[in-house]
Structure 1
Amino acid sequence: MIKYVIWDFNGTVLDDRELTLKLLNEILKNQEKPSLSMEQYLAVFGFPIKDYYLKAGVTFERDSFAELADWFIKIFQPESLKLNLHEGVLTTLKELIKKGITNVCLSASKQSNLEEQLNHYQIRKYFKYVLGTDNIHALGKKTNGAEFLKINKINPKSCVLIGDTIEDYIIARELGVLPVLFSGGHQPKAKLLTKTKLVIDNISDLLTIIKNEGE
């Protein structure tokens, strides 16, 4: 039976892919490189971020990756407060709580930025745990998730991880939790389906998967 839902934030809870593409294209424009369409962006996006930048055509001769990453976060954070949550996120969070399921937010974002976003969109109260990547131990997303399960003595088989990228799938498998992928984020549905059949087009479809897991 599922007792915990671990949520990725960017691209899963927050609909931020158009903003991400806009900022990527600003970087490309500054480097006098061709801009990307959304279809092209979805095809190249992945992790590590530096590798996806290279695939997109970004070079690091004039600006280092660290400098570009700092610029991106500086612009992205305030702009991320002008977006929308994906359809179905709020109702699903509420419904999970009604069912006695605990919501956890696991993100590669800085803790302070993540908290600001969750508070701005008035959904912080629906997450019992918020795990960013600049906590006391400065751990990565996967390590943060593993430590969370260990400290709280949580059986991974009682957890679902909902994300929007192949990386989320890999992290879920390494943690031993059930991966569910959302097709409205930063990677195309066809790519997600190469890893799992549990790919949903609407966040609220997560409730059906959880119901089926309990039967």
Structure 2
Amino acid sequence: MKLRLLEYDHIVFDWNGTVVDDLGLAVQSLNRVREDVNLGAVDADTYRRHFRFPIAEFYASIGFDFRKRSFVELVTAYLYHFDNQVADCEICAGFHDLADALRQHNVPISVLSASHQKTLERIAQRKQLAPLVTHLYGLDDEAAMGKLDRARDLDRLIGQSGASSVLMIGDTDHDYDVALDRGWDFVAVASGHQHRDRLEELGTPVVDQLGELMDFAPLQSRSVVV
């Protein structure tokens, strides 16, 4: 099968919800924190309709009161539950096939994540993903304020290899914003942390699973307004 993705010099994948199928764990971990502060549980649909960056805005939108418990305390508690179990999450359907095919055709891939760098490296090693990925870029800031600065660092590194056309694959509007900032094309995957309805509002191509990208048509580049 011919891969249209071969027209790109480099492919950048988001991590959580795009490569690692961790939505269920994220909802579970969030609800454990909510229980600690006497808030009711949220279901996956509510989570996906509200999820956004910065994470503080997401927490505020689902009822956390930072006057009662600081955001740093809340996200630290969340990460305690999440990081202890994320290694048990499965890799998203279609990723291995897609990554293997790209590697066979000499198209390098990178991972750009809002996860902590050490957590990202640990899970990639455990899941035997490291050999498939040229660059693993996570955050040093566990409060997950965003990954735009890391995207700029990664973009400079990709550019040093001579790559001029880059595609990002992600599951949130924040990933889309990162791609626009860097002048990368973007495809949204609707099986992750944001609801398909929200992703379709972006006006970008949306697929349900990574496997659909195996014969995905090439995208037109977008101009970035700065």
**TM-score, normalization: structure 2?**
0.86
Displacement of 1:156: 7.0
Whole-angstrom CA distance in 1 between matches of 2:205 and 2:20: 20
Q: Cα gap change, 1:178/1:86 in structure 2, threshold over 3 Å: closer, same or farther?
A: same
Instruction: Decide which structure has greater helix share.
Output: 1
| Contact 2:112–2:136 under 8 Å retained in 1 | yes
Displacement of 1:158: 1.1
Q: Does 1:124 align with 2:134?
A: no
Unaligned residue ranges in structure 2 (runs of 5+):
1-6, 221-226
The residue matched to 1:107 in structure 2 has which SS?
A: strand
* Residues 97-108 of structure 1 mapped to structure 2, 5 A cutoff: 97-108=103-114
Whole-angstrom CA distance in 1 between matches of 2:68 and 2:97: 46
The residue identity in structure 2 corresponding to 1:125 is: P
Whole-angstrom CA distance in 1 between matches of 2:157 and 2:195: 35
Q: Does 1:168 align with 2:175?
A: yes
Q: Does 1:75 align with 2:81?
A: yes
The residue matched to 1:23 in structure 2 has which SS?
A: helix
Corresponding position of 2:39: 33
The residue matched to 1:108 in structure 2 has which SS?
A: strand
Corresponding position of 2:71: 65
Q: Does 1:142 align with 2:148?
A: yes
Unaligned residue ranges in structure 1 (runs of 5+):
none
Displacement of 1:89: 0.7
Q: Does 1:198 align with 2:209?
A: no
Alpha-carbon displacement from aligned partner over 1:60-100 (angstroms, at most 9, x marks no partner): 23321111111222221120011111110111110111121
The residue matched to 1:173 in structure 2 has which SS?
A: helix
Alpha-carbon displacement from aligned partner over 1:147-201 (angstroms, at most 9, x marks no partner): 2222442577511100000000111011000011100001111110111341111
Whole-angstrom CA distance in 2 between matches of 1:145 and 1:194: 23
Q: Does 1:159 align with 2:166?
A: yes
Displacement of 1:110: 1.5
Whole-angstrom CA distance in 2 between matches of 1:122 and 1:105: 14
Corresponding position of 2:57: 51
Corresponding position of 1:208: 215
The residue matched to 1:11 in structure 2 has which SS?
A: coil
The residue matched to 2:85 in structure 1 has which SS?
A: helix
The residue matched to 1:90 in structure 2 has which SS?
A: helix
* Residues 81-100 of structure 1 mapped to structure 2, 5 A cutoff: 81-100=87-106
Q: How many residues align?
A: 210
The residue identity in structure 1 corresponding to 2:36 is: N
Displacement of 1:207: 2.7
The residue matched to 1:185 in structure 2 has which SS?
A: coil
Corresponding position of 2:4: none
Q: Cα gap change, 1:196/1:98 in structure 2, threshold over 3 Å: closer, same or farther?
A: farther
Whole-angstrom CA distance in 2 between matches of 1:162 and 1:89: 11
The residue matched to 2:29 in structure 1 has which SS?
A: helix
Q: Does 1:7 align with 2:8?
A: no
Q: Cα gap change, 1:145/1:185 in structure 2, threshold over 3 Å: closer, same or farther?
A: same
Q: Percent identity?
A: 26
Whole-angstrom CA distance in 2 between matches of 1:156 and 1:181: 22
